[in-house]
Structure 1
């Protein structure tokens, strides 16, 4: 109900629910509330007497507040002393400034302020990038950007041995990179030598960190594309293009050589084989002709006339078969007839020029003459037999 509600009740009420008059109730008194709270706490801790009943009630109230404060401090200390270590973390505890233990994952407690705790993630990969101008072995200046990936390998060394281990990592990286680049030529750094460069930097950097006992484990070193300084970049690009052109020409020459040399070797081998075949053919033919001649000599000695006639006929057959002109002769007093077979003349154009032969035999003409009852003419040549 509103204190100024119409109906005449507004004069008898105030916002705190009291009536105006002798029994007026004002706003809450904060001092009175604190006093009641103090009396309640005194009752809990043994000070049950009311104010005015005992002169030592002030002292008992002070002890109560002290106990309350100590209890609150104990709760706060316990809350700060209990800590949780995750699966990826470790914690190093120092007692009186000296190493005490390394704590693994789980719920743990330590005792500040006599103990100090250093808790770090030992599995997370961290990275450090660096770029700077360095001098190579052949006295060229190049810029080498790289990234070092690392993690904490030994938390005790990481916390206790070095004041700022990551600063030590940066200095060791700079020293390792300059040492490796200074012992490598520029071509190796700019082209195919980057992987070897990264491996050497990683090994040397890890040796430095182990010597310093920083507790850092280097997992990977990535060397990015090295380049010349900006002032001479154009000249370096020309050198690289010239080197690429040189390599391309070498590849083309090797390709041409790989195509020509086997072909030439094949042709040489074919010529050798043809020569060997021709040699075998000539030798075999000569041996056959020699054997044939030896056998003909034996037959000639047995029957000279027959053998002579047979050799003559074989020779004439071989010669007549390669000519396109045939001369037919008859008996004495008869005119000679020149027989020209057109089909053989046409076929002879595509072959080599035949040798002229004087004297031949005409089989068709002799056959016709034999069938008509005339005596068959004798086949002769102009050459003497």
Structure 2
């Protein structure tokens, strides 16, 4: 059994080039490519800026002076490059804890102790947990002058806080100086991020969430807090007693000074009186020296004899010997 091929010729027909069809295909491909290129160029020629954003354009790698606000804007395709930055958005950095946005109760402190552990001014350790909220206000500085912006801000803020904590004692950090530390830290951090290391951001809030002592010392510190009211009461009582003692001493001092002033006045008056009497005697002496001299002698002897218990008279001629007059003082007193 066999097969018979009719026609007697097995050669393939010669290839014929369809120039008209090829031209149509090339034209269609070029048109499609041109349309695709135009779509790409059109899409790359515009950019959208949202209400909370701003944009700066690089042209051949150089920043353009214009800052674009919200809306649709044109740029040169393949030449301009637009950088859009959310300038109205609040950015938050936390130290010593982490929290979920919108969930105040979901706060985690475990695992972040090294961030919050700091050395105080009295060389003790304290945990300071805090956060910084900032906004971008200079997008050119933010984009082109700082690398790793968030890490840079974190490092600077952390350094500023640690330096300030070293100016306070542990007791101050745990009690009365927390608000002062917070205000000082915000001002110093803002200065560092705008002047010392410009980052193009502004600090809108710095908040200290908590200050505490490390776990090993917490029990002792809690005991101190429990006994502190008693200590304050005893100090108040001691100050009151001190006030009473000082008041009594001051009163005694005033009394002593008053008595001394009176005694001084009396002594001065006596001295003035004696001086006046002496001057009067001096004047009498000048007028009648002999009479005054005799009067003064008699006055002096009267004073001497009034204090003598007895007197012995001796005869100079060796007559009757010694005569004792007794009691001389009584006799003179009777004579007076």
Give TM-score, length-normalised by structure 1.
0.50
Q: Deviations over 1:242-285 (max 9, x none)?
A: 3343335567889x99xxx9xxxxxxxxxxxxxxxxxxxxxxxx
> What is the aligned length?
210
**Post-superposition offset of 1:84:** 2.1
CA distance in structure 2 between the partners assigned to 1:160 and 1:179 by the alignment: 29
Give the corresponding residue for 2:50: 86
Give the corresponding residue for 1:240: 225
**Post-superposition offset of 1:172:** 0.3
Higher relative contact order (CA 8 A, sep 6+): 2
List gaps (5 residues or longer) in structure 1: 1-51, 262-385
**Post-superposition offset of 1:200:** 1.1
From 140, 149, 163, the equivalent of 1:179 is: 163
CA contact (8 A) 2:55 2:83 kept: yes
3-state secondary structure, aligned to 1:224: strand
**Post-superposition offset of 1:56:** 4.0
| CA shift in 2, pair 1:188/1:97, >3 Å | same
CA contact (8 A) 1:133 1:142 kept: yes
CA distance in structure 1 between the partners assigned to 2:21 and 2:63 by the alignment: 49
Q: Kindly indicate which of the two structures has a greater share of residues assigned to strand.
A: 2
1:270-309 matches, cutoff 5 A: none
Q: Deviations over 1:328-374 (max 9, x none)?
A: xxxxxxxxxxxxxxxxxxxxxxxxxxxxxxxxxxxxxxxxxxxxxxx
Is 2:178 aligned against 1:213? no
Q: Deviations over 1:95-134 (max 9, x none)?
A: 1221113211222122343222111211122211102211
CA contact (8 A) 2:132 2:206 kept: yes
4+ residue runs over 4 A deviation? 248-254
3-state secondary structure, aligned to 2:227: helix
**Post-superposition offset of 1:59:** 3.0
Cα root mean square deviation, aligned: 2.9
Give the corresponding residue for 2:125: 141
CA distance in structure 2 between the partners assigned to 1:150 and 1:61 by the alignment: 59
Is 2:14 aligned against 1:58? no
CA distance in structure 2 between the partners assigned to 1:248 and 1:59 by the alignment: 106
Q: Which of structures 1 and 2 has the bigger CA Rg?
A: 1
List gaps (5 residues or longer) in structure 2: 1-15, 97-115, 245-336
Give the corresponding residue for 1:108: 73
CA distance in structure 1 between the partners assigned to 2:192 and 2:177 by the alignment: 23
| CA shift in 2, pair 1:251/1:94, >3 Å | farther
**Post-superposition offset of 1:209:** 0.9
